[in-house]
């Protein structure tokens, strides 16, 4: 039972999701740099820079949602850890009793 439940793995998953949020923020910054560095001047260019700015802003907001997903995973991992230890203690007690009866 305990081998299938792995709070450590859930923590690792949360860290990976945290990394994706950071990656999203990095890509948003890269997009802004790219938009401002492009030597292009016209009405269409202004529209491109505006859209790139909007997209970068949306990516940063989305990164906050990804952060929230990572936080939910971490919280879930902690909860599972509590449940796991609550179950593990009586099981260990019963195992000790069984072993003593068998003369182990």
Partner 1 sequence: MTAVHPIEVDGGPGGITAHLEDLRVAARQVGRVADDIGHLAADLHAVLLHPALLVSAGFDPIGAGEVSAAIFRATDGPGGVTALALRGAALALALRASAARYEAVDELTRLAGPIPELIRRLPVTAAETAGVVTVSGAGAALEHLVTRDPQLVDVAVSTLAALLTARATPAAAAQLARQFPDGHAAVANLGADLAGDALGPPRSLRDLLSGIDRRTAGQAGEVDVRILTQPTQSGAPRHVVVDIPGTKTWSLAAHNPDVTSIATNLRSLAGQRTAYEEGIELAMRRAGVRPDDDVLLLGHSEGGMVAVNAATRFAQTGEFHVGRVITAGAPISATVDRVPNSVQVLALENAGDVVPHLDGQPNPDRPNVTTVTLHHDYGDIGRNHDLTDSYLPGATDVAAGSDPSVRAYLAGLAPFFNATAVRTQRFLISRTYR
Give least dist CB 99 to partner 1, A.
Answer: 26
Give least dist CB 89 to partner 1, A.
Answer: 15
Is 100 an interacting residue with respect to partner 1 (CB under 8 A)? no
Residue 66 contacts residue 20 (beta carbons within 8 Å): yes
Is 32 an interacting residue with respect to partner 1 (CB under 8 A)? no
Give least dist CB 102 to partner 1, A.
Answer: 30
Is 48 an interacting residue with respect to partner 1 (CB under 8 A)? yes
39 φ/ψ sector (left φ>0, alpha ψ -120 to 50, else beta):
beta
Q: How far is CA 89 from the centre of its chain?
A: 30
Is 91 an interacting residue with respect to partner 1 (CB under 8 A)? no
Q: How far is CA 33 from the centre of its chain?
A: 26
Count of C-beta atoms within a 10 Å radius of residue 73: 19
Between CA 60 and CA 66 the distance in angstroms is 10
Q: Under the rule (CB under 8 A), what is the footprint of partner 1?
A: 4-7, 9-10, 13, 17, 20, 23-24, 27, 30-31, 34-35, 37-42, 44-45, 48, 51-52, 55, 58-59, 61-62, 65-66, 68-69, 71-73, 75-77, 79-80, 83-84, 87
């Amino acid at each position: 039972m305990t081998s299938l439940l792995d709070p450590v793995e859930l923590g690792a998953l949360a860290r990976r999701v945290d990394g994706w949020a950071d990656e999203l923020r990095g890509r948003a910054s890269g997009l802004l740099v790219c938009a401002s560095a492009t030597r292009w001047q016209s009405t269409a260019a202004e529209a491109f820079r505006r859209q790139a700015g909007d997209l970068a802003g949306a990516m940063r907001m989305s990164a906050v949602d990804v952060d929230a997903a990572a936080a939910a995973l971490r919280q879930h991992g902690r909860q599972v850890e509590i449940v796991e230890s609550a179950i593990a203690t009586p099981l260990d007690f019963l195992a000790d009793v069984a072993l003593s009866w068998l003369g182990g």
